[in-house]
């Protein structure tokens, strides 16, 4: 305390503190998250899917390891127990922004679908080879992962 | 060489045939016509006929005015007539006097990419029995394939187009479109740049330098190729060296030894290679292997000279030695288990570092994607990456964390830098781990060897202790055998080590040769002859500038860069400090200078310069008079110079009074009705 007071007595001049920008993970970038959401929707039947499936796929397509695990589960070489299933809050935020920008539409409050603008955006993302790994993963497994499969994996049942 | 003999434009309209003919006598020609009369159309028609429109813009459109594409106006009545069909044709001549007529349709049924070539002077001497063939332009291969017109044109002009590097790493010929701007100064874009408005859409590396080098036929191009080749061979030699070094290190490690003073990067000095030697570990220190071999040999010799003792005589010493050995082996094993633990810890550390690097790589990729998404295109990037809330228009953080959680989010560019820096640190850690593990492995190996030999000795001693008293001492025999084996093993390793050093020495010799080759390449990029050409260009530009009344600085201060071939003053490129009129004067001087150099020196200049409307309004009258007289001096029957101008006719006539030249005067529109046409 004594030392603190001594230091304080030295700090008589004016001083200012500069705000340092903080780094964040790439998948928390707005554009990245929204793009992944669009790719998830684009990979599903009818370009729409339930919020549950969106969360499920968005989380699993994020890292190379989880992508590999999901592939193995679908190939039946691994059980659903090994998959980490998460509800990611950023997915909801991405969905909110995307809906407000008019690239996705909410259906009955429980599903999302790509709008015409969204389809154009997906085409542009694919053409530019962005999110390449995520995109090819979703293209491979999107059609196989039906709502029913997601439901069963969530309940840890064999499918 | 290239001479333009005749330019013909024809348009068939609803009001009859329109067109114009410009016949050039091959020296200095001044083409005079009022503004908006179609001078530029005629000169553009020349470029179009030669398939050079990409020199003007990367868009593949016809560079001709409406008068060749849509309608013409009758000069007498003012009535507009729609164009039904139109074409342009040019007759050109080369150094050997060969003439060729090329014709290209503007408005017509057929494909505009086709150019019809007639092998004779059809425009000046009328139709004849000449070979005809169609060539194509604008398509891939137009400069290389046999049916490509630009290949024909280059052959006709005696140009052997060099192969140059593109930005994407591939090769392509130096296209003719990149060379014409050096002597054909077009009105709209041509006057803006020195050496010229050279198109960049072909993505050729350093295209400005390459084109000047070709036009001036510099030796440097050849030199650059040799330099590139040598660089490639040297980098291959570096890789070979690294491989050999790895093999030597692996050999040493496998025998529990290490290499000292081995040059890790290529060296030309053979003795540096020969001074490398092997070391072995003894009680925590590394000593020369040769010393050990000598010591072992001496020991062996003593043992061999002694006769084999009986157990009875050695048993007392054996008991004490066995005890001491057991203790030593115990200590060694403890040491080994510590090393082993360290090694395991380092492996765990290494794995976690690798994992972190993989995560960073993944995150880096995501950030790079995010950056591209951010720079996507206006509308899409707003949708994917809004700066403002799409609903309430408040500013938002560029993150998917709850808004307001972070004070400020780092920009993606900074974030990428930040991750890159982290990755570098972790990579260094990973490299360190690899080195540490290698070092620990070596220690394990050498202490293991020690434990094994000590255990063998202990076994022999123990067998002596329980053997009958008159038996031969097993410990003595064991030691002798062990020494023999050890010497053989080490000798073998040394032999192989020396073989590898020999081959490394061979590589050092090759390396020395390559270094010698590199020193033989001239330090300067340019050969003496190239420099002579450049100083000739300098002299020509300076003397012309004096004639043109150049005033920004004394003309003698001007030099031409040995590097970019652009004009410089005191080593600095000349830019905005020039007045508008002086920059026009400099452009005249530079372009005519290139032609001037070609007289008396070997160059690829076609001996042709075309100035379309040389911006006389920006220079003073005296300068224009200077330009015309300099042009006449430089052309002087050896070259063709074509200057199109709309300067006041009486003045032009005044300037040309004592100058030998062809003056073509058009009063009104150049494209006008034609009553009688010898069309072909």
CA B138 to CA B61: how far, in whole Å? 11
**Residue A16 binned pLDDT confidence (cut-offs 50, 70, 90):** confident
CA B336 to CA B344: how far, in whole Å? 12
Answer yes or no: is pLDDT of B680 > 50: no
Q: Residues B64, B41: contact at Cβ < 8 Å?
A: yes
Q: Residues A100, B389: contact at Cβ < 8 Å?
A: yes
Nearest to A94 by CA among A30, A42, A50: A30
Residue percentage of chain B with pLDDT more than 90 = 34
A90 touches chain B (CB under 8 A): yes
Q: Between residues B341 and B476, which one has the greater pLDDT?
A: B341
Provide mean pLDDT across the span B430-444.
91
* Min Cα separation B367/chain A (Å): 5
B116 touches chain A (CB under 8 A): no
CA B80 to CA B464: how far, in whole Å? 127
What token pair was written down for B555? 């003309």
B355 touches chain A (CB under 8 A): no
Task: Label the pairing between strands B28-32 and B640-645.
Answer: parallel
Nearest by CB to residue B390, choosing from A25, A100, A124, is: A100
Q: What local confidence, expressed as pLDDT, does residue A130 receive?
A: 87
Q: What local confidence, expressed as pLDDT, does residue B616 receive?
A: 64
- Residue A53 Cα distances to A91, A154, B307, angstroms: 11, 10, 88
**Residue B54 binned pLDDT confidence (cut-offs 50, 70, 90):** confident
Question: Phi, psi at residue B115, to the nearest 5°?
Answer: -125, 125
Residue-wise pLDDT for B229-284, tens only, equals 788 889 889 999 999 999 999 899 888 888 999 998 898 888 888 899 999 888 77
Question: Are A32 and B386 in contact (CB < 8 Å)?
Answer: no
What token pair was written down for B587? 């452009």
CA B362 to CA A27: how far, in whole Å? 10
In chain B, count H helices and then E strands: 16, 21
Q: Between residues B226 and B186, which one has the greater pLDDT?
A: B186
The number of angstroms, rounded, from the C-alpha of B520 to the middle of its chain's C-alpha atoms is 23
- Residue A27 Cα distances to A94, B77, B363, B377, B419, angstroms: 11, 72, 7, 21, 14
A123 touches chain B (CB under 8 A): no
DSSP letter at A22? B
What token pair was written down for B655? 């300037």
- Residue A20 Cα distances to A17, A128, B405, angstroms: 9, 33, 14
Interior angle at CA B170, CA B169 and CA B172, nearest 5: 135
Interior angle at CA B80, CA B649 and CA B48, nearest 5: 65
Q: Where are the alpha helices (DSSP H) in B467-614?
A: 474-520, 528-548, 580-598
Question: Are B412 and A130 in contact (CB < 8 Å)?
Answer: no
Q: What local confidence, expressed as pLDDT, does residue B419 receive?
A: 93
Instruction: Give the range with max mean pLDDT: A13-17, B40-44, B655-659.
Output: B40-44
CB atoms within 10 A of CB B507: 18
Residue-wise pLDDT for B343-389, tens only, equals 999 999 999 999 999 999 999 998 888 888 887 765 677 777 787 88
CA B216 to CA B594: how far, in whole Å? 8
Answer yes or no: is pLDDT of B205 > 90: no
Instruction: Give the range with max mean pLDDT: A59-63, B197-201, B284-288, B372-376.
Output: A59-63
Q: Residues B496, B488: contact at Cβ < 8 Å?
A: no
Answer yes or no: is pLDDT of B678 > 60: no
Nearest by CB to residue A124, choosing from B368, B380, B406, is: B380
What token pair was written down for B276? 């490398």
Q: Between residues B63 and B333, which one has the greater pLDDT?
A: B333
What token pair was written down for B509? 């010799």
B125 touches chain A (CB under 8 A): no
Provide mean pLDDT across the span B431-437.
92
**Residue B136 binned pLDDT confidence (cut-offs 50, 70, 90):** confident
Q: Residues B14, B636: contact at Cβ < 8 Å?
A: no
CA B461 to CA B319: how far, in whole Å? 8
Residue B21, strand partner residues: B8
Answer yes or no: is pLDDT of B531 > 70: yes
Mapped onto helix, strand or coil, the DSSP state of residue B192 is helix
* Mean pLDDT score of chain B: 87
Q: Residues B391, A99: contact at Cβ < 8 Å?
A: no
The number of angstroms, rounded, from the C-alpha of A82 to the middle of its chain's C-alpha atoms is 20
Nearest to B661 by CA among B612, B628, B638: B628
Task: Label the pairing between strands A111-114 and A48-50.
Answer: antiparallel
For residue A55, the chain B residues in CB contact (below 8 A) are none
DSSP sequence for B619-663: S-HHHHHHHHHHHHHHHTTTSEEEEEE-S-HHHHHHHTTTS--EE
A21 touches chain B (CB under 8 A): yes
Residue-wise pLDDT for B442-501, tens only, equals 889 888 988 998 999 999 898 888 888 888 888 888 888 989 999 999 999 999 999 999
Residue-wise pLDDT for B579-631, tens only, equals 878 888 888 899 999 999 988 888 999 999 999 887 666 667 778 888 888 88
Nearest by CB to residue A64, choosing from B362, B373, B399, is: B362
- Mutate one of B365, B381, B383, B416 to test the A interface: name it (highest A CB count within 10 A): B383
What token pair was written down for A20? 């340092």
Provide mean pLDDT across the span B163-183.
84
Q: What local confidence, expressed as pLDDT, does residue B87 receive?
A: 92
Question: Phi, psi at residue B305, to the nearest 5°?
Answer: -75, -30
CA dihedral of residues B592, B594, B597, B602 (deg, nearest 10): -140
């Amino acid at each position: 305390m004594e030392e603190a007071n001594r230091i304080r007595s030295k700090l008589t001049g004016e001083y200012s503190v500069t705000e340092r920008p903080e780094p964040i993970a790439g998948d928390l970038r707005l554009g990245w998250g929204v793009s992944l959401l669009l790719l998830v929707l684009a990979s599903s039947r009818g370009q729409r899917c339930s919020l549950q499936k969106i969360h499920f796929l968005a989380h699993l397509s994020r890292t190379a390891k989880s992508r590999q695990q999901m592939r193995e589960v679908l190939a039946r070489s691994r059980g659903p127990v090994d998959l980490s299933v998460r509800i990611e809050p950023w997915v909801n935020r991405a969905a909110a922004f995307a809906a407000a920008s008019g690239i996705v539409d909410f259906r009955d409050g429980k599903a999302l679908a790509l709008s015409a603008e969204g389809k154009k955006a997906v085409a542009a993302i694919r053409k530019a080879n962005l999110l390449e790994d995520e995109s090819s993963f979703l293209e491979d497994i999107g059609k196989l992962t039906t709502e029913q499969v997601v439901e069963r994996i969530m309940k840890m049942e064999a499918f | 060489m290239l001479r333009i003999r005749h330019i013909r434009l024809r348009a068939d309209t609803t009001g009859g045939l329109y067109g114009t003919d410009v016949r050039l006598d091959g020296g200095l020609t001044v083409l005079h016509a009022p503004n908006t009369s179609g001078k530029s159309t005629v000169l553009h028609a020349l470029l179009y006929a030669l398939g050079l429109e990409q020199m003007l813009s990367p868009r593949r459109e016809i560079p001709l005015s409406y008068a060749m594409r849509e309608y013409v106006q009758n000069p007498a009545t003012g009535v507009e007539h729609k164009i039904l069909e139109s074409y342009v044709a040019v007759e050109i001549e080369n150094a050997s006097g060969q003439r060729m007529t090329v014709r290209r349709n503007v408005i017509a049924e057929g494909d505009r990419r086709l150019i019809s070539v007639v092998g004779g002077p059809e425009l000046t001497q009328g139709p004849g029995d000449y070979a005809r063939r169609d060539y194509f332009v604008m398509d891939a291969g137009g400069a290389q394939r046999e049916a490509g017109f630009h290949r024909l044109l280059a052959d006709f002009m005696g140009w052997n187009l060099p192969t140059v590097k593109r930005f994407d790493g591939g090769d392509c010929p130096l296209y003719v479109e990149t060379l014409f701007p050096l002597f054909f100064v077009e009105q709209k874009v041509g006057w803006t740049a020195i050496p010229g408005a050279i198109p960049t859409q072909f993505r050729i590396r350093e295209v400005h330098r390459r084109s000047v080098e070709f036009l001036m036929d510099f030796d440097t191009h050849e030199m650059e190729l040799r330099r590139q080749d040598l660089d490639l061979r040297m980098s291959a030699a570096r890789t070979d060296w690294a491989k050999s070094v790895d093999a030597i290190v692996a050999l040493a490690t496998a025998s529990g030894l290490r290499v000292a003073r081995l040059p890790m990067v290529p060296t030309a000095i053979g003795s540096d290679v020969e001074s490398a030697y092997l070391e072995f570990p003894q009680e925590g220190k590394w000593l020369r292997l040769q010393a050990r071999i000598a010591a072992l040999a001496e020991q062996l010799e003593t043992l061999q000279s002694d006769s084999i003792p009986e157990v009875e005589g050695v048993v007392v010493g054996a008991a004490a030695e066995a005890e001491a050995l057991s203790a030593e082996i115990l200590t060694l094993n403890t040491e080994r288990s510590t090393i082993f633990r360290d090694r395991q810890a380092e492996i765990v550390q290494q794995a976690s570092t690798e994992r972190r690097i993989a995560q960073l790589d993944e995150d880096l990729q995501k950030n790079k994607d995010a950056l591209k998404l951010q720079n996507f295109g206006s509308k899409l990037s707003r949708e994917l990456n809004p700066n403002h809330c799409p609903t309430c228009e408040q500013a938002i953080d560029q993150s998917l964390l709850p808004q307001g959680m972070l004070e400020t989010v780092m920009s993606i560019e900074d974030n990428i830098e930040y991750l890159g820096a982290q990755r570098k640190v972790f990579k260094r850690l990973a490299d360190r781990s690899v080195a540490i593990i290698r070092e620990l492995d070596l220690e394990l190996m050498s202490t293991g060897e020690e434990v094994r030999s000590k255990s063998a000795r202990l076994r022999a001693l123990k067998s002596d202790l329980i053997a009958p008293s008159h038996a031969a001492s097993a410990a003595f025999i064991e030691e002798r055998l062990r020494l023999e084996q050890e010497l053989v093993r080490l000798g073998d390793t040394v032999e192989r080590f020396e073989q590898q050093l020999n081959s490394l020495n061979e590589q050092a010799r090759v390396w020395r040769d390559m270094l010698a080759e590199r020193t033989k390449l001239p330090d300067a990029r340019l050969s003496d002859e190239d420099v002579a050409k450049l100083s000739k260009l300098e002299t020509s530009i300076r003397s012309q500038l004096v004639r043109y009344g150049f005033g920004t600085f004394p003309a003698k201060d001007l030099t031409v860069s040995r590097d970019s071939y652009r004009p410089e003053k005191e080593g600095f490129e000349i830019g905005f400090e020039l007045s508008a009129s002086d920059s026009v004067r400099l452009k005249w001087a530079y372009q005519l200078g290139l032609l001037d150099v070609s007289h008396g020196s070997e160059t690829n200049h076609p001996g042709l310069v075309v100035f379309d409307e040389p911006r006389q309004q920006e220079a003073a009258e005296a300068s224009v008079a200077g330009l015309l007289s300099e042009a006449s001096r430089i052309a002087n029957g050896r070259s063709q110079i074509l200057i199109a101008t709309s300067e006041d006719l009486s003045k032009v006539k005044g300037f040309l009074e004592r100058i030998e030249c062809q003056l073509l005067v058009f009063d009104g529109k150049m494209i006008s009705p034609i009553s009688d046409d010898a069309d072909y």
